[in-house]
Amino acid sequence: GYYSNVARFCVLYAFCCFLPSRSPAMGNLIKVLGKDLENCPHFFLDFENAQPTEAETAVWNQVSAVLEEAHGILAELQSYNGAGQEIREAIQNPGDLALQEKAWNAVCPLVAKLKRFYEFSLRLENALRSLLEALTSPPYAPMQHLEREQALAKQFAEILHFTLSFDELKMTNPAIQNDFSYYRRTISRNRLNNQQLEAENEVNNEMANRMSLFYAEATPMLKTLSNATTKFVSENKTLPIEDTTDCLSTMACVCRVMLETPEYRCRFTNTDTMLFCMRVMVGVIILYDHVHPVGAFAKTSKIDMKGCIKVLKEQPSNSVEGLLNALRYTTRHLNDDSTSKQIRALLQ
Phi-psi region of 82 (alpha: psi -120 to 50; beta: other; left: phi over 0): left
End-to-end Cα, the chain, rounded Å = 25
pLDDT for res 10: 45
Tell me the chain's radius of gyration from C-alpha atoms. Answer: 24
For residue 64, pLDDT beyond 50: yes
Half-sphere exposure of 17 (CA within 13 A, CB side): 5
Q: Across all residues in the chain, what is the average pLDDT? A: 83
Give dist(CA 74, CA 162) in Å, integer: 8
Query: In this structure, which amino acid lies at residue 204?
Result: N
Transcribe 303-322 into DSSP letters: S-HHHHHHHHHTS-HHHHHH
Write down the pTM of the prediction. Answer: 0.81
Identify the weakest region by mean pLDDT among 10-19, 20-29, 71-80, 127-136: 20-29
Give dist(CA 241, CA 223) in Å, integer: 19
Q: Are 246 and 141 in contact (CB under 8 A)?
A: yes
Express each pLDDT in 77-125 by its tens digit.
Answer: 999 999 999 999 999 999 999 999 999 999 999 999 999 999 999 999 9
Give dist(CA 103, CA 197) in Å, integer: 14
pLDDT for res 238: 77
Banded model confidence at residue 20, pLDDT cuts 50, 70, 90: very low
Transcribe 56-85 into DSSP letters: THHHHHHHHHHHTTHHHHHHHHHT---SHH
pLDDT for res 137: 82
**Percent helix, percent strand, percent coil in the chain, to nearest 5:** 70, 0, 30
Nearest to 152 by CA among 261, 54, 226, 260: 54
The residue ranges of every structural domain in the chain are 26-347
Give dist(CA 294, CA 15) in Å, integer: 37
